[in-house]
Amino acid sequence: MAGYKGCNINPKKFEIGQLKIILILLPLAVFMGIPIVFIVCHAFKPMDELFAFPPQIIVHRPTLDNFVKLFKASANSNIPMSRYVFNSLIVTGSVVLLSILFSTMAGFALSKLRFKGKYALLEINNTALMFVSVAVMIPRYLVIDFLGMKDTYFAHILPLLALPVGLFLVKQFIDQIPDALLDAAYMDGANDFKIYRSIILPLVKPAIATTAILSFQQVWVNVESSNFYVNDESMKTLAFYLNTLANQNSNVAGQGIQAAGILLQFIPNLAIFLILRKSFMNTMAHSGIK
């Protein structure tokens, strides 16, 4: 360990040794940030800049005309945009909260509790990681129809509650919690629920944040439920409405409306990632540590 004495892996102040790392990572950061800049700038471009060739990343004469056209188009529809926003908030909030609840409770059970069929359930979850939503579209429809949930919020929420990747990450995180800590709690008279609430949840906050991000991104842009399980227009979500509006205005004049709609869908995704990014990075850093 003598060779590591005095070595500061993460210095608080700038050191000359960091320069080579910055020179490598800075171009990558700029390259990865270009799509975000383009999406934001594209929504504020006037018509001539939208169709400029070669395409321009930065807007030179920003305007709000695209958003004005978007809200005018929504004002002419039978159902106001606020209804779609309300539906999306209800569905997204419910899915995120319930996904976190189920992922953490199931992760705790599969990691620390002993019961019959534990490993079989874990393998089923791992197998589910291979399936895309299209592969289970017909079974989902049959279940929703059999339960009589069509044209309800449950038709949006139920198909998205299961998040195999979230359960996998949470379970891996809980595996790192020492069994001795839980045994001490059991000896003090704590039951499974108290251990889950007082020990597991506080120690897996990074994994919870990651599950929240993944669940939010999955449900916020989802149009499948509105397309297949909901016929009542007033029960559809914002993602479906913006997608429909973009298709209806797919001509040259409607390109600005599409750009504004894409930005409105993108902002919440970016916001939740920025809010929870620290916990998300902690999950990625610890997921491979045993």
User: Considering Cα of 66, then 71, then 75, then 80, what sign does the dihedral take?
Assistant: positive
Q: What is the pLDDT of residues 193-217, one digit of tens each?
A: 899 998 998 888 888 888 898 899 8
Instruction: Give the amino acid at 180.
Output: A
Q: What is the pLDDT of residue 71?
A: 82
Across residues 38-47, what is the average pLDDT?
A: 85
Structural domains in the chain, CATH included, are: 72-286 (1.10.3720.10)
Q: What is the pLDDT of residues 229-264, one digit of tens each?
A: 888 888 899 888 888 876 666 666 677 888 888 888
Mean pLDDT taken over the chain: 82
**Alpha carbon distance 214, 162 (integer Å):** 12
Does the structure show a pLDDT above 50 at 2? no
- Of 44, 216, 229, nearest in space to 154 by CA: 229
Does the structure show a pLDDT above 80 at 287? no
